[in-house]
């Protein structure tokens, strides 16, 4: 960590002298660092103004997912979902973060059955028994919010329904493991112990991420168990938890379109995602 002098202006932007502001907080962090935690740069802590902006963006993302929920059914194409999301987003003065992000060609990700994530909307028609993840990231007044959920189309198999429910529960359990001044790796530990019991696997190649000022920020969030200590969770952090759970093996492949991530063994995959805010006492789900 960078050291400040007592009479310097505090790094937090309060305009106060360091000795009257974050000096004690930083001393506390040094103790955590000695215990073995990784301490991230302090810009992972969002200001009140930024949090307000991210929450406004999150409200719109939530509305978009509800709008999709009301319309999605067998017979529509994933391209239609893209049109709904794009039109709703623009009508509300926002932009869809996926569009043109590193060359992604659409405004939303639609990931069907064995597609883990980053599915590209196209002419594929939804049919009875499908399971699909719709992942919405909205930029409103410069602030990003990112959330996704599963939809079950018509009557799905018991196996598919169980997986969808388990992925939702994995998200809940992961978020429950988030504690201010706790270890970011606790999330993966908790999700892994849940999934192991069910015989499901957790995708390792992709994870959650800080979000708010940009699409993907620090910290990176693993959803599986990693040994050792990770980053220290701090109040004011905003990040996603978004476990991708496979019915079969955890391995994944990326298709030739350079985006669509599928299970290597062709098994079903499910994912739910929230953007969360760490508070002094716990966690708030932004969207
Ligand atoms: N929304 C995804 C996430 O949860 C990222 C999608 S990137 C895109 O991080 F380019 F495919 F949109
Ligand atoms: Co995300
Ligand atoms: Co997302």
- Kindly state whether residues 68 and 23 are assigned to the same domain: no
Give the closest residue (by CA) to ligand 1 atom 11: 118
What is the rounded distance in angstroms from the CA atom of residue 116 to the CA atom of residue 263?
Answer: 6
Of the chain, the end-to-end C-alpha distance in Å amounts to 32
Atom of ligand 1 nearest to the CA of 104: 10
Determine the distance separating the centroid of ligand 1 and the alpha carbon of 104, expressed in angstroms.
9
56: three-class secondary structure by DSSP: helix
The DSSP code for 9 is B
User: Are residues 85 and 201 both part of a single domain?
Assistant: yes
The protein residue whose alpha carbon is closest to atom 2 in ligand 1 is 135
Give just the sign of the alpha carbon dihedral 3, 6, 8, 14. positive
Q: Tell me which ligand sits closest to the C-alpha of residue 109.
A: 1
Q: How much is the pLDDT for 8? A: 95
Atom of ligand 1 nearest to the CA of 106: 12
Q: Are residues 29 and 47 in the same domain?
A: no
| Domain shared by 7 and 60, yes or no | no
The answer to whether 73 touches 266, Cβ cutoff 8 Å, is no
Q: Do 126 and 242 reside in the same domain of the chain?
A: yes
Dihedral sign, Cα of residue 180, residue 184, residue 185, residue 190: positive
Task: Please state, in angstroms and rounded to a whole number, the distance separating the CA atoms of residues 81 and 16.
Answer: 49
Within this chain, do residues 29 and 170 fall inside the same structural domain, yes or no? no
* Unique residue bearing structure tokens 């509305």: 63
Do 27 and 53 sit in the same domain of this protein?
Answer: no
* Contact indicator for 200, 5 with CB cutoff of 8 Å: no
Residue nearest to atom 7 of ligand 1 (CA): 98
Measured in Å, residue 15 CA sits from the centre of ligand 3 at: 35
Regarding whether 99 and 193 lie in a shared domain, the answer is yes
Task: Mark the residues whose beta carbon lies below 5 A from ion ligand 2.
Answer: 146, 240
- CATH number of the structural domain spanning residue 195: 3.90.230.10
90 is written with which tokens?
Answer: 């623009």
Report how far residue 216's alpha carbon sits from residue 135's, in angstroms, rounded to the nearest whole number. Answer: 14
Q: Which residues contact 147 (CB under 8 A, 6 or more apart)?
A: 58, 61, 62, 65, 135, 136, 137, 240, 273, 274, 275, 287
Q: How far apart are CA 233 and CA 51, in angstroms?
A: 16
Q: How many separate domains does the chain show? A: 2
Q: Is the CB of 217 under 6 A from ligand 1?
A: no
Q: Distance from the CA of 156 to the center of ligand 1, in angstroms?
A: 26
Res 1: pLDDT: 64
DSSP class of residue 18 equals G
Residues 203 and 160 in one domain: yes
pLDDT at residue 3, as a whole number: 78
Distances from the Cα of 94 to the Cα of 51, 53, 137, 210, 225, angstroms:
17, 12, 10, 20, 36
The radius of gyration of the chain from alpha carbons, rounded to an integer in Å, stands at 20
pLDDT (tens digit, 0 to 9) for every residue of the chain, 287 residues total? 667 899 999 999 899 999 999 999 999 999 999 999 999 999 999 999 999 999 999 999 999 999 999 999 999 999 999 999 999 999 999 999 999 999 999 999 999 999 999 999 999 999 999 999 999 999 999 999 999 999 999 999 999 999 999 999 999 999 999 999 999 999 999 999 999 999 999 999 999 999 999 999 999 999 999 999 999 999 999 999 999 999 999 999 999 999 999 999 999 999 999 999 999 999 999 99
Task: Find the 23 Cα to ligand 3 centroid distance in Å.
Answer: 36
- Regarding whether 184 and 91 lie in a shared domain, the answer is yes
Name residue, tokens 């098994």: 267
**Ligand nearest to the CA of residue 117, numbered in listed order:** 1
Q: Ligand 1 pocket, 223 CB below 6 A?
A: no
**CA 30, CA 111: separation in Å to the nearest integer?**
42
Ligand 1 atom at shortest distance from the alpha carbon of 102:
10
Q: Are residues 82 and 188 in the same domain?
A: yes
Q: Are 221 and 244 in contact (CB under 8 A)?
A: no
244-246 vs 131-140, strand pairing mode: unpaired
- Residue 247 Cα, ligand 1 centroid: separation in angstroms? 22
231 lines ligand 1 (CB under 6 A): no
- In terms of residue numbers, what domain contains 3? 1-35
Instruction: Please tell me what DSSP assigns to residue 44.
Output: G
Long-range contacts of 170-173 (CB under 8 A, 24+ apart): 170/194, 170/195, 170/202, 170/223, 170/243, 170/245, 170/272, 171/241, 171/242, 171/243, 171/272, 171/273, 171/274
* 144 CA from centroid of ligand 1 (Å): 12
Ligand 1 centroid–CA 18 distance in Å is: 38
| 125 and 18 both lie in a single domain | no
- Return the pLDDT at 206: 98
């Amino acid at each position: 960590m960078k050291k400040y002098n007592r009479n310097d202006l505090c790094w937090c932007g309060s305009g106060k002298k360091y000795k009257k502001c974050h000096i004690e907080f930083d001393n506390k962090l040094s103790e955590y660092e000695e215990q073995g935690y990784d301490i991230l740069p302090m810009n992972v802590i969002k200001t009140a103004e930024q949090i307000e902006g991210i929450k406004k963006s999150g409200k719109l993302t939530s509305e978009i997912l509800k709008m999709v929920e009301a319309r999605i059914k067998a017979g529509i194409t994933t391209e239609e979902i893209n049109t709904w999301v794009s039109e709703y987003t623009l009508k509300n003065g926002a932009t869809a973060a996926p569009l043109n992000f590193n060359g992604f060609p659409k405004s939303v990700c639609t990931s069907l059955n064995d597609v883990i994530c980053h599915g590209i909307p196209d002419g594929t028609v939804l049919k009875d028994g499908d399971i699909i993840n719709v992942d919405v990231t909205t930029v409103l007044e410069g602030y990003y919010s990112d959330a996704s959920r599963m939809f079950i189309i018509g009557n799905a198999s018991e196996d598919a329904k169980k997986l969808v429910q388990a992925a939702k529960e994995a998200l809940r359990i992961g978020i429950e493991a988030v504690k201010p001044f706790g270890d970011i790796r606790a999330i993966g530990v908790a999700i892994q112990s849940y999934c192991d019991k069910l015989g499901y696997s957790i995708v390792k190649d992709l994870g959650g991420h800080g979000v708010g000022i940009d699409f993907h920020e620090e910290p990176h969030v693993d959803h599986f168990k990693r040994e050792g200590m990770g980053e220290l969770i701090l109040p004011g952090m905003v990040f996603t938890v978004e476990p991708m759970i496979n019915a079969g093996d955890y391995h994944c492949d990326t298709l030739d379109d350079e985006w669509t991530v599928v299970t290597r063994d062709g098994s079903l995959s499910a994912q739910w995602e929230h953007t969360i805010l760490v508070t002094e006492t716990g966690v708030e789900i932004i969207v």
